[in-house]
Amino acid sequence: MKTLIMTVGGSHAPLLTAIETLKPDRVIFLCSDDQGRTKGSYFQVEGPGKVLCSKAPKSEPLTPDLPNLVTLANLSPDRYQVIRIPQFDNLQDCYQKAAVVIHQEKTAHPDAQVFADYTGGTKSMTAGLAIAALEDEKCELSLVTGTRNNLAQVQDGTQFAHAVAVWDLRALRRFQHIREALKRFDYPAAQQVLEAIAMTPISEGLLNRVRAAIAACRAFDAWDRFDHVNARHLLEPYSAQFVPYLIVLKELCSDQPVDPYLQVEDLLFNAERRAAQERFDDAVARIYRALEMLAQVRLRTKYGIDTGDVDIARLPEPSRGEFEKKRRDDGRLVTALFDSWTLLTLLADQPLGLWFDGKKQSLRSFLGQRNSSILAHGTCPLSQAVYESEGQQGLSMCRETLQRSRQADRMQGRSFQLPQALPWLDEDQKA
């Protein structure tokens, strides 16, 4: 089944051309209503008129002496419907009427081909139908055009109906949903919309942009899941757009990174992304791990101490007895976050020792909230208020100690947050 929805107004010749070309089973006319003593365009569709002959001049204005549209198109009453629009110069009203008609037609006839022709009618009527049709991906747009001798109208006899290329427009409208997903660091959601766009008949130029954006979303999604090797592989074809990110990725993939603290910083940025998505338990869990990893990195790189199995001989002799009590049944001496930081205060020439002594209470407060999380030892999820107080405090403490560690080792931090926008999504907005 084929349904044609068309706005009515002006010359009826192009409207008849659309009907004759598309040969619909059913036509829905969107018409203007009466305005004072002036008849609306519905009169053009089914108003009284005398049928002169089958070759009545279609380009002349409709008069009582000429047939109406349904007569000229040979439409029986069961093949057409007239919808009157009272506010025919109000874009919102015209759009809403058109959107309802399209929805009702798709609901009543799910398998029908629906065409929207916006050749006739007021500017608001045509714009309203075009917008409503653009929003429904199963609705095809049609327009009657022809040769113009002037800007006023198409020359009679040259008009023809043609399909309007709308898939690029529909895709560009959906780019806003992608931008919103990226602002939340929701790369899978952005990728899902992009892949849906790629399944439509868009232009080759737009497809190239979508293809690149899909690859970037997959890369940053992999990075967000700590799959740095795959992220680097996916991002390398687009190195020109992401040079700084690839430099960081290369080091994150290295077995011997120049900056041993880079992974700690990567965890902190990951925590901020989880907080941006209001996943506060996940955010706090990552901050906890970053604080723990920072102490582990410092102990391993500067003192050769492995917190997974501490060599008691590497500790200052006065403190060995206290730590010996922590040895497990399997013989290993394992230090968790707080004990690892305590170890740092016992070692000579350790710039973080005094800092930790002054932050013990704050760290204990953070650990208390972390332990109450359902992802740790508690049963309730952490609220935004808890994250903004204790979580943010843990994040700040880790960033401060990270900076102190790098300053002590004369290192410069090079990591940064993942992007919340992609260059290919904004090319159409450039002047």
Instruction: Report the 3 state secondary structure along 31-76.
Output: EECCECCECCCHHHHHCCCCCCCCCCCCCCCCCCCCCCHHHHCCCC
Q: In sequence order, what are the residues at sequence separation of 6 or more whose Cβ sits closer than 8 angstroms to the Cβ of residue 189? A: 181
Predicted confidence at residue 194, as pLDDT, reads 96
The predicted pLDDT at position 428 comes to 61
- Return the pLDDT at 351: 66
Percentage with pLDDT > 70 across the chain: 89
Q: What is the pLDDT of residue 239?
A: 93
Low-confidence ranges of the chain (pLDDT < 50): 50-64, 146-152, 154-155, 158, 431
The pLDDT value given to residue 404:
82
